[in-house]
Structure 1
């Protein structure tokens, strides 16, 4: 008969409780991501703005997300991940309440930007789980399973949020009252974290590299700002390329500064490890399809077949299509730990990336019927769902103690940057040739094919990079005392 040491039993008990509370947090995160989409037309009318102006809200929130995640993740490593998670939740709750009563474009823009602090939740949660799991000899596999469950909560919340907002607005008839519901959810989550989540154990003697973070913020601000202008003004604007070029050049002094620091903002030597850089790069490549391709998929499904392509689905049918895609992501997140146990974590990552590439590649010959599009999305969704939870868990396993939050945060940051680049490029690609279509709002088929091809090539590139990961990477290690 096998026995379990008291330390391991305590660790397993704490992890189970921790995962339960954090499941609620990610459920709320999903609600935030899905809740506002069905209400976009009503929000536009409420604010008395044009439909195109709503793009600014998404753009500024992505910008804020890219800026704050590295800083908050490092502060979590320094002062405790729970403490920073609480701070991010307070800011998110305040911003969500502000959204409920915002009556102008400017106030809604600021509130929506500040709500972007919620993107640091998942990296901090994975860091919390992994730091607790260090006390167990199965800490890495525990983190993989837990991260998969958090992705299940996230995607379930997105489905619930999308359905709930439409139902509530129809029954309440008041936009402020409808928008107050997610604010209540975030407020309750604060108390769930406060009373239910144990704190991690940060290493003493850490310092915040303010100079490094300032240079990094400037670089990210310039690049994402240039990408935003690319999406809004097109590639003909000189400012687009000037901002992007200055942002890329700003990473050079950032690297020089970080390599001289004893406690850098981001330890580039750690990021260059063979267990780390393929994972971080894969996260960026995943952002291309995960964040950049969802809007093109939705518009293609709604395009009138009179153009010679498109499915012509009404809004409700499109929402069902997206719902099936989200369910496939949930299945992928659940299956990843099982595949990791059957093969290895490295091979599970490779298979997941390969599925994303195959799913989008199938769009090239098979896109004429709804069933074909559905099958393609199911295949890509399985891989995307697996990678969403697996990548931060893999980064946590590859990071030395004291840098878990930064490592998991980097997967989120690169994913956001990849999605921002893809979103801007896809907007330009879809606009090119649109004048040849029958309906005035439709994009060109060549543009859609280009989008799918870029998503597929990005996933296949990630598959190739993951072969550079050592074969025994991300396996369980002996417990730490």
Structure 2
């Protein structure tokens, strides 16, 4: 193996290339969909269905890729996942049609496997870089999400589909990086439970459909109620099957284990606002105050710059999180993320009359995003046995995705209930105020859950995964 790739900074830099690909893929399509939709003849409903398809792919692939990585090798499944993303990105860029966008966005859903699989490799190959490495990768992810959207939007200013090429070169680099990474040394045992995988997939598909379409179909309609009941029944049956299986797809003890459960609930609560409100944040920034009486009246490029500033704040948060956890302990670090998030949303609730005021609250939310994503991903990898690392981080990723989806659904419902009575029926400021308040309340619940975490006490010696940022002189040895 080439020197500098097997461990240490070379390993981390190679992983960062893969994570940047994940961030660009997650961030570059959002500003492009309206223009691409007009170019290929897909209206607002069709664009929403494409977004829904990507969310379904995320939910389904998260546990499957993570479990397969623990069973058959993290590097092998990482290469498969990166190849799927690269193929989907190239397909959409070369031949943008409704069918290829559908196929490409489905293949791109494999990005959800990147972080769990990389965590499995990092934990076994360079455990001394555990928390520092996770924080660096989270920072790279957040910045690349913002940068991907900004680059894609700039490319598509003259031609709608030009921005689709944004992900192609970074996916090619990620393929090369995945080829250089070593495999993890974690023991592999067990078998893939096809029946459990089928039940979990169908249950998650039904659940995501309810969350994504409930506001459109109507939360009290027979379709939504029936689909929600089906999701609960399938997931309950899945738990029952897993309990009886000698080789479960997901060891349900991971779901009810107190430490991982606390981490996942905290992740859900913080993702509820930090990610669930992103779409509404852009709408508020773009609202014309002369017409609505509130908003900032920003254009698309200015909105993209605000979003980029938020992810830069998130990068700062992820960078300082390992040092924060070393000095105050894991519980305090978890609580800090929740308090910062709540303070940001309360700031938006109380001070939103000018752009500097709004930016203060938004940047606090961005800072909280980096803190909670770094600490929860680190803890999700540490609180289980090494051979379950990828699956544990994958479950945490799923908690993040569901928190974001439910947050967006709740905010959508609040918006639907606060529209003006006039002919245009535009959204009122009260809809935003209720949303900011609810997000702050859920973030405080996440902070309280963080205080319930049973981890290393303040002042206790740090674990090997919490080593200083600078490696030993021979840390790059193969």
State if a TM-score over 0.5 links the two structures.
yes
Contact 2:32 2:163 survives alignment (8 Å): no
Structure 1 gap ranges (5+): 1-9
Contact 2:287 2:298 survives alignment (8 Å): yes
Specify the alignment match of 1:163 in structure 2: 150
Specify the alignment match of 1:5 in structure 2: none
Are residues 78 and 202 of structure 1, via their aligned partners in 2, closer, same or farther at CA, if it must alter by over 3 Å? farther
Specify the alignment match of 1:372 in structure 2: 357
Query: In 2, distance between residues paired with 1:449 and 1:393?
Result: 33
Specify the alignment match of 1:109 in structure 2: 102
Specify the alignment match of 1:316 in structure 2: 301
1:328-383 per-residue CA deviation (whole Å, 9 max, x = no partner) reads 11110111011112211221121112111221122222222211211111112111
Contact 1:101 1:176 survives alignment (8 Å): no
Specify the alignment match of 1:302 in structure 2: 286
1:256 to 235, 240, 249: 240
Residue 317 of structure 1: SS of its match in structure 2?
helix
Query: In 2, distance between residues paired with 1:25 and 1:470?
Result: 32
Query: In 2, distance between residues paired with 1:445 and 1:89?
Result: 43
Specify the alignment match of 2:82 in structure 1: 89
Query: In 2, distance between residues paired with 1:12 and 1:467?
Result: 38
Alignment of 1:269-284 (within 5 A): 269-284=253-268
Structure 2 gap ranges (5+): 466-478
* 1:320 CA displacement: 2.2
Alignment of 1:141-156 (within 5 A): 142-156=129-143
Contact 2:155 2:163 survives alignment (8 Å): yes
Query: In 1, distance between residues paired with 2:136 and 2:148?
Result: 18
Q: Is residue 68 of structure 1 aligned with residue 68 of structure 2?
A: no
Specify the alignment match of 1:285 in structure 2: 269
* 1:67 CA displacement: 0.7
Give the TM-score, by structure 2 length: 0.90
1:187 to 149, 172, 179: 172
1:384-421 per-residue CA deviation (whole Å, 9 max, x = no partner) reads 11111221210110011211011000111111112122
Q: Is residue 407 of structure 1 aligned with residue 377 of structure 2?
A: no
Are residues 304 and 256 of structure 1, via their aligned partners in 2, closer, same or farther at CA, if it must alter by over 3 Å? same
Alignment of 1:209-248 (within 5 A): 209-248=193-232
Query: In 2, distance between residues paired with 1:34 and 1:181?
Result: 10
Give the TM-score, by structure 1 length: 0.90
Contact 2:7 2:126 survives alignment (8 Å): no
Specify the alignment match of 1:7 in structure 2: none
Are residues 441 and 146 of structure 1, via their aligned partners in 2, closer, same or farther at CA, if it must alter by over 3 Å? farther
Are residues 358 and 46 of structure 1, via their aligned partners in 2, closer, same or farther at CA, if it must alter by over 3 Å? same
* 1:178 CA displacement: 3.9
* 1:444 CA displacement: 2.1
Q: Is residue 342 of structure 1 aligned with residue 327 of structure 2?
A: yes
Query: In 2, distance between residues paired with 1:280 and 1:185?
Result: 30
Are residues 21 and 365 of structure 1, via their aligned partners in 2, closer, same or farther at CA, if it must alter by over 3 Å? same
Q: Aligned pairs, how many?
A: 460
Q: Is residue 80 of structure 1 aligned with residue 64 of structure 2?
A: no
